[in-house]
Amino acid sequence: MPQLQDSQVKKFWETRAQDQSLTDAEATHSDVWQRWLEIETIKPFLRAIDSLVDVGCGSGYATRLLAPLVRETLGVDFSGSMIERARTAASGTSNLRFEVGNVLELDSQALGTFDVALSVRCLINLESWDRQQRAIQNIARLLKPGGRFIFVEGLADGRRNLNAMRTQMGLSEMPAVWHNVDFEESQLMPYLDRFFTLDARRHFGTYDFVSRIVHPMAVAPGQPVYDSPINRTAAQLAVHLQEFAALSRVLFLALTRRP
Mean per-residue pLDDT over the chain, rounded: 95
Q: Which residues contact 89 (CB under 8 A, 6 or more apart)?
A: 24, 59, 60, 61, 64
pLDDT digits (tens, 9 = 90+) for 168-206: 999 999 999 999 999 999 999 999 999 999 999 999 999
125-162: b (≥16 Cβ within 10 Å) or e: bbbeeebbbbbbebbbebbeeebbbbbbbbbbbbbebb
Question: How far is the first Cα of the chain from the last one, in angstroms, to the nearest whole number?
Answer: 37
Instruction: Select from 137, 117, 123, 139 the least CA-distant residue to 46.
Output: 117
- The whole-number average pLDDT for the span 109-116 is 95
- Look at residue 24 in the predicted model and tell me its pLDDT: 85
Q: Residue 10 — pLDDT band, cuts 50, 70, 90?
A: confident
- Look at residue 1 in the predicted model and tell me its pLDDT: 37
Phi, psi of 216 (to 5 degrees): -65, -30
Task: Determine the 3-state secondary structure of 36 from DSSP.
Answer: helix
Which runs of consecutive H residues, i.e. helices, occur in the chain? Answer: 2-18, 32-42, 61-66, 80-89, 108-111, 129-141, 156-168, 185-195, 205-209, 215-219, 229-240
Strands 143-154, 250-257: pairing kind? antiparallel
C-alpha torsion angle, residues 164, 209, 56, 199 (rounded to 10)? -100
- Look at residue 156 in the predicted model and tell me its pLDDT: 98
Single pTM value for the model: 0.94
More confident residue, 93 or 121: 121
Q: Residue 236 — pLDDT band, cuts 50, 70, 90?
A: very high
CA distance linking residue 214 with residue 94, whole number of Å: 43
DSSP string, 166-222: HHHTTPPPPPPPTT--PBPHHHHHHHHHHHEEEEEEEE-HHHHHIIIIIHHHHHTTS
Q: Residue 5 — pLDDT band, cuts 50, 70, 90?
A: low
CA distance linking residue 17 with residue 87, whole number of Å: 12
CATH number of the 2-154+176-203+248-257 domain: 3.40.50.150
Residue ranges per structural domain of the chain = 2-154+176-203+248-257
pLDDT digits (tens, 9 = 90+) for 137-173: 999 999 999 999 999 999 999 999 999 999 999 999 9
Q: Note the residue count of the chain.
A: 259
